[in-house]
Amino acid sequence: MSSLDTCQTSHTEAPKWDQATFTIGQTLQGLTDAYKIQEWKGDGSFGTVAKCMAVDSRQSVAVKILKSKNALEDMEAEVSILEELRILDPVRTSLVHFVEQFESVGFYCLAFEMLDMDLHTFLVNRKLVPLQMSEIRPIAHQLFVALYALKGLGIMHCDIKPDNVMFTDVDGQPLRVKLIDFGVAMRASEVEVGALIQAEGYRAPEVILGLPITEAIDMWAVGCVLVFLYLSGNLFPVKCGYHIVKCMVDLLGPPSDHMLETGEFSDVFFIKDRTSEAITWRLLVFFTFVVYDYYINAAEISV
């Protein structure tokens, strides 16, 4: 069983990156409402999420504060996707409801409906006891509906993993989930072959091998999430690209020679076998992969 990452938990002190700027009790002025910070819910590499109370509506809201003051381009790309999603019913499609964007003290902020906890934290809180199939099925259905809605708009999430699927209310609405975090989402028509997207362990084979990319990569990631719930651990390794590919080959068999001939990164993990009349591909042994990877990285550094 693969080990789980460190659980994200709530805390009462402001994140270290900006203790002087944002504090508990501070009010952030949005465009349609003001948001009073109640507690910090999560701290990532790109932003921190605060649980806030909307002063006028009295609704709990999650405000994502982007860490970089130069994050305008990234925020605009995310907001562009979120604005497109407004035409969808966030309840029926199981997609997080986007409230608004605004700027506070020079930092860009995004306000969303307040959800409960992500799948990762949920499993940790229940001491890694796997879910039953009867519990996984409704979660699967909701995620499939979400993917169907996204495909209808030509949008790919590109970062589906347990951390980005959240329960709306674990106690009040058991097994009701929503897909969150469209920070790296893209329009399917704009995704380039060779793009480094998706989290390791949830990365589809076509992304790893450098093959043409479609919305199908999100379906692969959802499948990995569902197995995560069933096993209470990751199906594929999350640390080493070679071991991810080897595990895929062991479970599903090798990709077809046609796919490997087409993939931009096939020769990173596979080698052509010329011992027979027909040229075939086989997986590199780990030592050969490590040596090859070392020289490739050394060559890139020297350029």
Q: Which residues are catalytic?
A: 159
DSSP 132-143: PHHHHHHHHHHH
Reference 61, options 31, 29, 98; nearest CA is 98
Q: Which residues, in sequence order, are bridge partners of residue 173?
A: 169
Reference 42, options 98, 113, 118, 106; nearest CA is 118
The C-alpha atoms of residue 46 and residue 48 are separated, in whole angstroms, by 7
The C-alpha atoms of residue 79 and residue 57 are separated, in whole angstroms, by 22
Reference 190, options 150, 220, 153, 156; nearest CA is 156
Instruction: Find out whether 160 and 222 touch, Cβ atoms under 8 Å.
Output: yes
Phi–psi pair at 54, nearest 5 degrees: -70, 120
Reference 243, options 207, 271, 213, 283; nearest CA is 283
Instruction: Find out whether 273 and 280 touch, Cβ atoms under 8 Å.
Output: yes
Token pair in block for residue 223 = 């499948």
